[in-house]
Amino acid sequence: MKVYAALDPRLPLSEVPQVARRVEDLGFDGLHIPETIHDSFAVALLAAEHTSRITVRTAITLAFVRSPTLVAYNAWDLAKFSGGRFELGLGTQIKQNIEGRFGMPWTEPVARIGEYVTVLRELFAAFASGDSIHFEGDSYRLTRLQPYFNPGPDDIAPPPILLGAVNAGMCRLAGQLADGVITHSTNSDPGYLRDVVQPALHAGAAERSRQAPGIIAAVPIATGATAKEVARDRERQRRLLAFLYSTPSYRPTLIRLGLPELFDRLRELVKAQRWDQLHDVVTDDVLDALLICGDYDALPDLVRDRYAGLVHGIVLPAPTADPENTRLMHAIESLRAS
């Protein structure tokens, strides 16, 4: 099992190099770069510059707010700059954010992101060969790439493309087209991975006569070296999960877990703009149902009990303090051996 660290989305850019180096020194396989208040490519560039071994993966870069050509340029540059360590995690976001937060148009996401991935692969092929591109689809039309604007030819390997996926339709598409799938923290419980994600991935892969891509699970985890650190991380997760589960797209998870009333209560607070009270609704009992919680010594067994045989990789929170610990290193080593 690969073990990745998820960068704190609010981490100041000035602290990214130090945290990235720490992640590498601790033995993680890679670093996940979120996109919330920072541009994921800018953060990935900093992480790649200050590391030499780990995979640097955006998780996830928002597709529908960007031109495919600009994404291809950025991903190509990062792949070359990092010596092949960069991976492009790509996702759609939800309609409300694309339209209301970014002011960009929204269309049916599964077909559109499938076309987006296809365009990216054609652009990478054009970069590698030095040729032009001609693509005409339902959402994107690219018919011009003069030699002056083509960064190739080059022998660089195109960066892998992973898709962020929640529902069965997107997971099926990932099975058809992607090099991997990154699950969301709201759809990473073992039952959902087993009953929905895996079958959809395998069905999509079978349609293209290819091997199903691996699952990288962004699991809600509260951990740390001490009980105090675990408790602090638990409260951080309480606030994060309360915000996430107030989103209509993630209501099916709560229904599946027998918690439909939680969504209704969260939505009432959102409609009243009472954002600071969301976490009060997520009681300890509810949090226990949503979260893996334990110190570094307990963490490997907790993760294996739920995810052994289901996922190719697991995502842990990146430690922002400088732990003197060999305990976290041992936890990572133990999980990697799973």
Confidence of residue 113 (pLDDT cuts 50, 70, 90): very high
State the pTM of this model.
Answer: 0.93
Q: Which residue, chain included where needed, has tokens 């409260």?
A: 235
Residue that wins the pLDDT comparison between 125 and 244: 125
Label residue 324 by pLDDT band (50, 70, 90).
Answer: low
pLDDT at 251 over 90: no
Read off the pLDDT of residues 282-319 as tens digits, 9 standing for 90 and up: 888 888 888 999 999 999 999 999 999 999 999 998 88
Name the least confident of 100-104, 120-124, 274-278. 274-278
Q: Which residue in 179, 146, 147, 149 sits closest to 164, CA to CA? A: 179
Instruction: List, in sequence order, the alpha helices (H) in the chain.
Output: 16-26, 40-49, 68-81, 95-96, 109-129, 168-177, 190-192, 198-207, 227-244, 251-256, 260-271, 278-281, 284-290, 299-307, 327-336
φ/ψ (deg, to 5) at 196: -120, -55
Q: What is the pLDDT of residue 322?
A: 60
Q: How many CA atoms lie within 13 A of 162 on its CB side?
A: 25
